[in-house]
Amino acid sequence: MWSDSLLIVFISICTAFLGEGLTWILVYRTEKYQKLKVEVERQSKKLEKRKEAHGDSLDKQHKKKIEREEERLKNNNRDLSLVKMKSMFAIGFAFTALLSMFNSIFDGRVVAKLPFYPISWVQGLSHRNLPGDDYTDCSFIFLYILCTMSIRQNIQKLLGFAPSRVASKQGGALFGAPSPAQFK
Partner 1 sequence: MSAKNKSSDIANKGKSSVSLWKRAFIANEEWDDKEEFLDVIYWMRQIIGIILGLCWGLLPLKGFFGLVLFVLVNAAVIYVYVSNFQNIDEEEYGGMWEITKEGFMTSFAGFLVTWIIMYTGLHSGSLL
Alpha carbon of residue 21 to chain centroid: 16
Q: Is 100 in the site for partner 1 (CB under 8 A)?
A: no
Q: Is 113 in the site for partner 1 (CB under 8 A)?
A: yes
**Site track 73-92 with partner 1 (rule: CB under 8 A), x = hit:** --------------------
Q: Indicate the residue among 91 and 146 with the shorter CB distance to partner 1.
A: 146
Half-sphere exposure of 134 (CA within 13 A, CB side): 10
Q: Is 123 in the site for partner 1 (CB under 8 A)?
A: no
Query: Please, what is the minimum distance in Å from the beta carbon of residue 2 to partner 1?
Result: 4
SS (H, E, C) the chain: CHHHHHHHHHHHHHHHHHHHHHHHHHHHCCHHHHHHHHHHHHHHHHHHHHHHHHCCCCCHHHHHHHHHHHHHHHHHHHHHHHHHHHHHHHHHHHHHHHHHHHHHHCCCCCCEECCCCCCHHHHHHHCCCCCCCCCCEECHHHHHHHHHHHHHHHHHHHHCCCCCHHHHHHHHHHHCCCCHHHHC
Q: Is 10 in the site for partner 1 (CB under 8 A)?
A: no
Q: Indicate the residue among 26 and 151 with the shorter CB distance to partner 1.
A: 151
Size of the site for partner 1 (CB under 8 A): 24
| Of 11, 47, 138, 141, the one binding partner 1 by CB under 8 A | 138
Query: Please, what is the minimum distance in Å from the beta carbon of residue 150 to partner 1?
Result: 4
| Of 104, 153, 159, 178, the one binding partner 1 by CB under 8 A | 153
Q: What is the dihedral of CA 68, 69, 73, 76, to 10 degrees?
A: 70
Query: Please, what is the minimum distance in Å from the beta carbon of residue 53 to partner 1?
Result: 15
Q: Indicate the residue among 61 and 179 with the shorter CB distance to partner 1.
A: 179
Q: Is 130 in the site for partner 1 (CB under 8 A)?
A: no
Residue numbers at the binding site for partner 1 (CB under 8 A): 1-3, 5-6, 9, 112-117, 138, 143, 146-147, 149-150, 153-154, 157, 164-166
